[in-house]
């Protein structure tokens, strides 16, 4: 089974995806980390961020690998061509560089192919921007997770402070979130949008535990009764509440 979790930056996708994977005993795949790793390698190689051919070449030929930290059930360590970039891909420089890199069709083509190969190997929670629309249009469960810009900026600042990486300046983080939303939603290739059959969950005022519980419920229902899952989708979607 594939559980696709899409949504804008800072909506809580990573936290939710990892918790759902743990709860259901699924593997997890953070596709944003793959785009970030390619952006890191491009900066490292001094590649022009608008040189589509060169970026595509990196995405095709530099192997990206996810590894487990000792004692952790889900992978969090990210490597590209053997370089450990786990922390390096979370800086503001990469937040900025990753937008043009992820808008490049040759990069998307190469990474989507790898994502499909990984996901088809078993039960996966896959998070990103185009998972339910492009990468796994037949995913059994599709969630579009969102929250207000301000709430997402607050969460990102808290997360950066905890990790000790990235900016903790609220205004700077908010401006970057808005810039990336605009970029991700307006790019020509695979723009950020909910799949037609996705459940929309707005987590602005919804505790993260509730988001996680709803997705797990949906996945379990899908396994035991696909028709019941369709009915459930309608009742838990935030859009219906408004």
What are the distances in angstroms from CA 188 to CA 100, 114, 175, 224? Answer: 12, 21, 22, 38
Site string for ligand DC, 99-118 (x = CB under 6 A): x--x----------------
Q: Does 41 bind ligand DC (CB under 6 A)?
A: no
**In terms of C-beta distances under 8 Å and separation of at least 24 residues, what long-range contacts does 136-140 make, across chains too?**
136/2, 136/4, 137/195, 138/2, 139/2, 139/3, 139/4, 140/1, 140/2, 140/3, 140/219, 140/222
Judged by CB under 6 A, how many residues of this single chain contact ligand DC? Answer: 13
- Residue from the set 3, 4, 5, 9 that interacts with ligand DC by CB under 6 A: 9
Q: Does 28 bind ligand DC (CB under 6 A)?
A: no
Q: Does 238 bind ligand DC (CB under 6 A)?
A: no
- Residue from the set 2, 16, 20, 35 that interacts with ligand DC by CB under 6 A: 35
| Residue 107 contacts residue 113 (beta carbons within 8 Å) | no
Q: Does 31 bind ligand DC (CB under 6 A)?
A: yes
If the CB atoms of residues 152 and 222 are measured against ligand DC, the closer one turns out to be 152
| Residue 132 contacts residue 80 (beta carbons within 8 Å) | no
What are the distances in angstroms from CA 215 to CA 84, 95, 218, 220? Answer: 31, 28, 5, 9
- Residue from the set 56, 119, 128, 194 that interacts with ligand DC by CB under 6 A: 128
Q: Which range of residues in 72-80, 126-134, 198-206, 232-240 is near ligand DC by CB under 6 A? A: 126-134
Beta pairing partners, 29: 126
If the CB atoms of residues 161 and 217 are measured against ligand DC, the closer one turns out to be 161
Quote the least distance from Cβ 237 to ligand DC, whole Å. Answer: 22
- Residue from the set 36, 142, 214, 222 that interacts with ligand DC by CB under 6 A: 36
Q: Which range of residues in 128-136, 139-147, 148-156, 164-172 is near ligand DC by CB under 6 A? A: 128-136
């Amino acid at each position: 089974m594939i559980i696709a979790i899409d949504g804008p930056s800072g909506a809580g996708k990573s936290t939710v995806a990892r918790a759902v994977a743990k709860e259901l005993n699924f593997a997890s795949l953070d596709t944003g980390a793959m785009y970030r790793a390619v952006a890191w390698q491009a900066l490292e190689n001094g590649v022009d961020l608008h040189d589509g051919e060169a970026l595509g070449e990196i995405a095709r030929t530099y192997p990206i690998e996810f590894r487990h930290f000792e004692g952790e059930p889900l992978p969090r360590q990210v490597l590209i061509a053997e370089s450990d970039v786990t922390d390096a891909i979370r800086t503001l420089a990469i937040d900025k560089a990753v937008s043009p890199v992820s808008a490049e069709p040759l990069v998307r083509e190469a990474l989507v192919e790898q994502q499909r190969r990984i996901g088809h190997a078993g039960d996966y929670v896959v998070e990103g921007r185009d998972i339910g629309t492009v990468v796994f249009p037949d995913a059994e469960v599709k969630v579009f997770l969102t929250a207000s810009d301000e709430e997402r900026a607050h969460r990102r600042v808290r997360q950066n402070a905890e990790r000790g990486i990235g900016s903790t300046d609220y205004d700077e983080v908010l401006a970057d979130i808005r810039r990336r939303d605009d970029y991700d939603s307006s790019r020509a290739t695979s723009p950020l949008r909910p799949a037609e059959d996705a459940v929309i969950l707005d987590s602005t005022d919804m505790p993260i535990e509730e988001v996680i519980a709803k997705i797990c419920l949906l996945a379990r229902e899908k396994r035991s009764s696909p028709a019941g899952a369709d009915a459930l989708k309608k009742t838990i979607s935030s859009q219906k509440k408004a």
